[in-house]
Amino acid sequence: MIEQNITLADPNRALALFGPRDQYLRALKETLGVTLSHRDGVLRIQGEEPAVNKAAAIVEQLQTLLKERGELDPETVGGILAAAGGKALGVVAQPIDIINVAKRIQPRTAGQARYVDSIRAHDITFAVGPAGTGKTYLAVALAVEALKHHQMRKIVLVRPAVEAGESLGYLPGDMFAKINPYLRPLLDALTEMIDYDQMKKYMEQDVIEVVPLAYMRGRTLNEAFIILDEAQNTTASQMKMFLTRMGNGSKIVISGDVTQVDLPRASASGLTDALQRLRDIPGINTVHLGKGDIVRHKLVQEIVRAYEEEPKSPPKKSTR
């Protein structure tokens, strides 16, 4: 039996953290079998050491979400606590070991925990979900972790450049300037996980590549962690081309949002096609993320929800 005390980041938000009538606190207590008490902005957790450590990690996770979103909802808290009953909790509580040790990265929802678990367990993982669910960010973090621990020799980050028809010729500047707008989200994620000098060195040595999808044709990538972002904007033939680049010892993560397809209307999404064709192949797994997994600004969840609903009809004009 041990005891651990957590000083609340904002004691005035204890009600929001603990839930209506302390329902989140009581659910945590029942899930892990710990004793919880709160006094003067300090939460005391008592119980067996593994359970206390897990409870403390969950409380810290909830505090982070509360700070970012301004509120907690039963769906999110329920998902986190549901993960506590299975092996996903270890992923939720265990940070991803990136090169920048000052940056702490870990899944924040049960869906994200399943996603991380799937990437670690499968050679190919498809991640489907709305913006803000961490599809790209967590995949890049796991790629950096694999590189750090010498599980992979290189990282290849790929995006389709659909707006310019894959030619990129309409944009001004040299080749790097042309592809930079398409690849910027991947570069932004990398710069949070690897310090600038180290990343520059890796890119000069081709240990890290950030390339448009059109430049993948004809390659075979061995011992590489390959991530395809915005995969809904590939055609079926492009998706086949990409998947067949996989060499020995490699891992592929393909992420996208099937509700945000920017292809011409006559073109079917390669992501949707692949999800159907490959669903029964061992070693390939699909993770679906939802609104409850959105970890950006609290308004992003509401925006996604609003766009999923039918638009409200404008008020009728008076005939008078």
Report the C-alpha gap between 278 and 246 in whole angstroms: 15
213 is written with which tokens?
A: 């999808």
294 is written with which tokens?
A: 């959105």
The overall pTM is greater than 0.95: no
304 backbone φψ class: left, alpha, beta (φ>0; ψ -120 to 50): alpha
Give me the tens of pLDDT residue by residue for the chain, a chain 320 residues long: 889 999 988 888 888 888 887 888 888 888 888 999 998 889 999 998 888 988 898 898 888 888 887 888 776 787 777 766 543 333 343 578 888 767 778 887 778 888 988 899 899 999 999 988 999 999 999 999 999 999 999 999 998 875 534 444 554 555 555 566 667 778 888 888 998 888 889 999 999 998 889 889 999 999 999 999 999 999 999 999 999 999 999 999 999 999 888 888 778 899 999 999 998 999 999 999 988 788 776 677 678 778 767 666 665 555 55
**What is the CA 183 to chain-centroid distance, rounded?**
17
Amino acid identity, position 216? M
155 is written with which tokens?
A: 């990282």
Instruction: Give me the half-sphere count of Cα atoms (radius 13 Å) on the Cβ side of residue 224.
Output: 21
Please give the domain boundaries of the chain with CATH numbers for all domains: 2-83 (3.30.1370.10), 96-308 (3.40.50.300)
